[in-house]
Each structure stands twice: as C-alpha cells, then as structure tokens.
A and B are shown apart, each in its own frame.
Chain A
Amino acid sequence: MKNEPLLEKWSGRVANVTIGATKEAGGSRKTTVKVGAEESLPFLFREGNIAHKPALAFEIWDVYPAEWPAELLNAYGDILKDPLRWAKKCVQEYRAGLLCLKLQGAHPDYGNKNAKDETGLVKELLKTTDVPLIILGCGDDAKDNLILPACSEAAKGERCLIGDAVQDNYKTLTAAVLADGHNIIAESPIDVNIAKQLNILISDMGLPLERIVINPTIGALGYGLEYAYSIMERARLAALAGDKTLAMPFICLVGQESWRAKEARASSREFPEWGDEAARGISWEAVTAAALLQAGADILVMRHPKAIKEVNKYIEELMRNEFRKS
C-alpha cells in the first residue's frame, strides 16, 4: 500500500500586501514587492498556494551607525556616512529589491534630526533609487509622531511600508499612512494578543487589514528565537484557520536583533574558541533569518551583504519548482 501524506486543509489566507507603486499606480518605483497571500504554513506547497517568495530588505540608516560591530562597518566602509551612496550600492551592487530606511538619527540621543532633514532624505532616496521603500521611525514615540507623518507625506503615492505603530501610539501614523496611500507596520512585543488587538484598532480607523504588516518582534538565535517562532506560528495558524485580524504578513528585524547578540559581536581575541568573528556574525544573522523563514516571516530586514546573499540562496532553494510538484 502506498503511503499518502496527511495534508492539512486551510480555509484562511494571509493578506496580499504590495509595497511600492510603479508609474502606472501613481508612484515612481520601477518594481514592486508583493508579500503574503500564503495559503499554507511556510513552504508546504502541497497544502496550499504560496504565491510569493519571502522578501529581503537591506537596512540603511540616516546616520553613521557608529555602534554597529566592526564586521558590519568594514563590509560597507565609508559609504555608511552617506545614506544615498549606501542605498545605491545596495541596489546596484547587491541587487537589493527592497530598502529599509531606519531614521535612527531622529532619536534625541542619536542626533535629533528634524522632520525637514528626514523628509529631504526620503525624497532624495526615492530619486536616487527605484526599488520599494520601508521607512522605520527612531523608536521615540514623540519624535516619530513628528517625523513619520512628514516622511509619509513626502513619499505620498509611493506605497511605502511605514512603521512602527504600537498599541500606545498608532493613531498619528495610521492617519498619515491612510492619507498618503502607504502600508503600515504594527508592532507588538512578542505577544499575539496585542498583535491582534492592534490590528483591530488600526483597521477601526479605516485602514484596510490588507495594508497592515505585523512586526511580531523577534529575538535572535539564542535570545528568544523559539519564543518569537511560537508566537508567529500561533498567529499564522489562526490566520490560516480564518482569523482575518491576524492574517497579515510578518516583517522581522533580523539584522538589528542578530548583531546585538554577544556571539555576533565578540572578538575572537576575547573568545578564541568561538572562531573567526567575521564569519560568526554573518552566520548568526543568516541562521536567525533561516529559522524565521520557517516561522512564516515574509520580509526580513537584514544588514550584512554576505548574510543576505546566503539567505537569498536558501530562499531560492526552498522555492525551487520541484518542491511544488504534487
């Protein structure tokens, strides 16, 4: 007797979110990135359609990221001082299909850039590059409420993905994103209940559920990865079972979390038994990303070009046609 695999049947589907607007859609991007629309758990092609492959975004900062570990600083060199050159290199040399601009410099402790500085940068960046854009605030609520609506307006019509909205501070950003035709990132602190609540609050303001991307907050390998994984899995299972208020794509800030890990940063002089620090950090980022792909991540925001290259290869492998054959 032939063994037939037991296949799960799902009634729900993750929302299909488009980032970037081409000329025809009223923007100026050459390409768009579509994420979501899964009808099964990650890469289980026989249980449901998986329309899009996960997207990788290169993280760019508006200020020199002085506290990044040496390996990251060396990988990019001097261009880290110029966000436009940095972005251009990612697109031209590393073939980035998606950029994630982090407005860290607006933070009161990181230079306190104002809305004018940041909108200027967003406009220039949109001129310099033609791939879709993610815009992240600095994490200071008061400051983000000044700069993000301004940047949203500056990028009006480009259908960016802008974040993060959080449970105590979502109204200003939601209103801006709604007015300017963008998508929003809803962030919850590794908490599926808050993720769901925030999505409802945002959609109650009139933003369709199909324009929300969940940032579930993650931990890197060794720093709560399993916990993040379980929360993402629980949300995705609910989505596939028909819960539309959790049926959004996930964005994971892999670079940010991975390069915070001691194992990614510590020098080999300090821990000779841990091996070469350059390779170690890259692996830490790539492995964290690979695990999150299996948890259902749709967009991975990453930092090291080599780690991104590795993860890209892994995604291509997973999405290869022969896996799809039934």
Chain B
Amino acid sequence: MFIIGELINGMYSDIGRAIKEKNKSVIQTFALKQIKCGADALDVNCGPASRDPAGDMRWLIETIQEATTAPLALDSSKPQVIASGLEVLKNQAIINSTTADKEKLDRLLPLAKKYNAKLIGLTISAKGIPQNKDQRLELAAEIVASCAEQGFPVENLYLDPIILPVNVAQVQIREILEVIAEFKIISEPSPKTVVGLSNVSQGTSARSLINRTFLTMAVAFGLDAAILDPTDKELMDALITAELVLNKQIYCDSYLDAYRKK
C-alpha cells in the first residue's frame, strides 16, 4: 500500500498557524513524523483559509524539501496553485487532483507529463458527486481515455472513487468498495486506485475505528494507495494486518515490526 500522509493541511489549526507565521520547524516536524510512521509520500494542502494559496504552496514545498526527499502530493482544487508548486518541486510529484472535467484534464495532464508526476483523478465532475457505481465508472473511463489521448501513462494515474461519510451515504459505501476493484479492469495496464480515507468517518463518533475498518475492506478490494493519518497506530496496524491476511507479506510473530523495518 502506498501511503500518503494527510496531516500537512492548513485546515488543521497547528498547520494553519505555522503557514501564517511561516514557522518551518512545525511543518518539518509533521513531515518527518509521518514518514517515520510509514508514510511513503506527503500530501501538501495550504487549506481553505489561505489568502495566497500559490505562495503558501511554494513555501510549504520548499520547507518540506529541506527535510525530506519523499514524494509530495500537491493538493489543491485550483490548477494554478498546483502549477505554481510544481515550479519549485524537486521531489517526485503527485498532482492531487484532477476531476473528470475536460478543462481540468486539459490543464493538468500536460503538467503531469511535463513534471513526470503521478496524477490523482477524482471521479467527480462539474455535475457533482456521482450517486452510484455506474456513474463513477463512467467518469473513471473518461479520465482514463483522456490520459490515453494525451499520452499520459495510465499506471501513473490514481483513480479516487470519492468516499462519502458513512453517516451521510451509508447505502453507497458498498458500491464504492466494489468500484475500487472495477476501476482496475478499465484498461490494461490498469490505473491505480486511491482514497482519501478520513472522509468515510467525517462527522461520526468513532472516526479511527471506522477509518480502519473501511481501509481493511478496501485493501481486500485491491486498493493501491490511501491518503490517511499514518500516526494513527491502530490504523497502520490494521492495514499491515490486512496485507498479511491477503498474503502480501510473509507471516512471522513480529510481522508488524517486520513491515515497519522495510
């Protein structure tokens, strides 16, 4: 499982304040902590309150790059913010994200190609969030087709089915799990899959438990990557155990330690 740490997000008060005060050490501490806990890459989001998102994005990237060479997921709904961040990015880039809308794909796919970036594609469009599996698959197919047209390698595409909170859209969760497996058969080579995990438990009273329960189920449906809180030890233990049960690593009594030694 490719783990993208979610904690560097201006929406969180510590990070928001650090961005405002340009406090590098807070950001770098969060970056290294997540990597130590098992993150393979770090999500970077300056948050909704930023008055200068492009400038903040660049500052965050430069700050994090001083501390680690881990890949960074530039997280913004505004393509110009991502473009601005890519200009200063030295680490492997992940663009987070495009939607299935043509304007966005036409803007972000060339950037992804230019910077040899991975691209997260949300199965969402200007029409809104899909309400069932077929709509998700249709949007996924549109994104995959655009990648093929523009010569972007599909194996660098991470399709995100958009998880809805279990207390809002309980009836859809099963289909979201199923579509993770179905995304893989859209093309050969297959696109990869990713979820923004925490969304599933938004507004519930048992967030960590719901997150890890969903994650283990998603792993069984073939999920490749997740944006999550790697400092949630129980979540990481559940993930490692799910992979163990699926024979993705060889059992031994200290399998949790063994995984972390990798």
Contact = CB atoms under 8 A, between A and B. Distances in A.
B220 to A, nearest CB: 19
Nearest to A245: B258
Contact of A244 (B253, B254, B261): B261
B249 interface: yes
Nearest to B249: A243
Interface string A228-265: 00000011001000111110000000000000000000
B262 A200 contact: no
A192 B251 CA distance: 8
Nearest to A239: B250
B252 A194 contact: yes
B261 A192 contact: no
B261 A197 contact: no
Contacts of B254: 197, 200-201
A200 B250 contact: no
A102 B258 CA distance: 32
Contacts of A245: 252, 258, 261-262
A247 to B, nearest CB: 10
A203 interface: yes
B182 interface: no
Contacts of A242: 262
Interface string B87-105: 0000000000000000000
A244 B250 contact: no
B262 A235 contact: no
A244 to B, nearest CB: 6
B87 to A, nearest CB: 31
Contacts of B257: 200, 204
A156 interface: no
A246 B250 contact: yes
B262 A192 contact: no
Contacts of B258: 196, 200, 243, 245
Interface residues of B, number: 10
B252 A197 contact: yes
Interface string B233-259: 000000000000000011111100110
B1 to A, nearest CB: 13
B262 A196 contact: no
A161 to B, nearest CB: 22
A268 interface: no
Contacts of B262: 242-245
Contacts of A203: 261
Most chain A beta carbons < 10 A, residue from B249, B251, B252, B261 = B252
Interface residues of A, number: 17
A166 B115 CA distance: 50
B261 A238 contact: no
A197 B250 CA distance: 10
B251 to A, nearest CB: 5
A243 B261 CA distance: 9
Contacts of A204: 257
Nearest to B253: A197
A238 B243 CA distance: 13
B250 A196 contact: yes
Nearest to A197: B252
B93 to A, nearest CB: 21
Given A200-B261, A244-B261, A238 B249 contact: yes
A310 B257 CA distance: 43
Interface string A182-204: 00000000001110110011011
Given A245-B258, A245-B261, A238 B252 contact: no
Nearest to A235: B250
A193 B247 CA distance: 12
A193 B261 contact: no
A201 B252 CA distance: 11
A307 B251 CA distance: 37
A266 B252 CA distance: 40
Given A243-B262, A245-B258, A234 B252 contact: no
Nearest to A242: B262
Contacts of A201: 254
Nearest to A238: B250
Contacts of B249: 238, 243
Contacts of B252: 193-194, 196-197, 200, 245
A271 B11 CA distance: 82
Nearest to B258: A245
A241 B26 CA distance: 35
Given A196-B251, A203-B261, 14 more contacts: A193-B250, A193-B252, A194-B252, A196-B252, A196-B258, A197-B253, A200-B252, A200-B258, A200-B261, A242-B262, A243-B262, A244-B261, A245-B261, A245-B262
Closest 4 CB pairs of A and B: A196-B252, A197-B252, A245-B258, A200-B254
Interface of A: 192-194, 196-197, 200-201, 203-204, 234-235, 238, 242-246
24 contacts: A192-B250, A193-B250, A193-B252, A194-B252, A196-B250, A196-B251, A196-B258, A197-B252, A197-B253, A197-B254, A200-B254, A200-B258, A200-B261, A234-B250, A238-B249, A242-B262, A243-B249, A243-B250, A243-B262, A244-B261, A245-B252, A245-B258, A245-B262, A246-B250
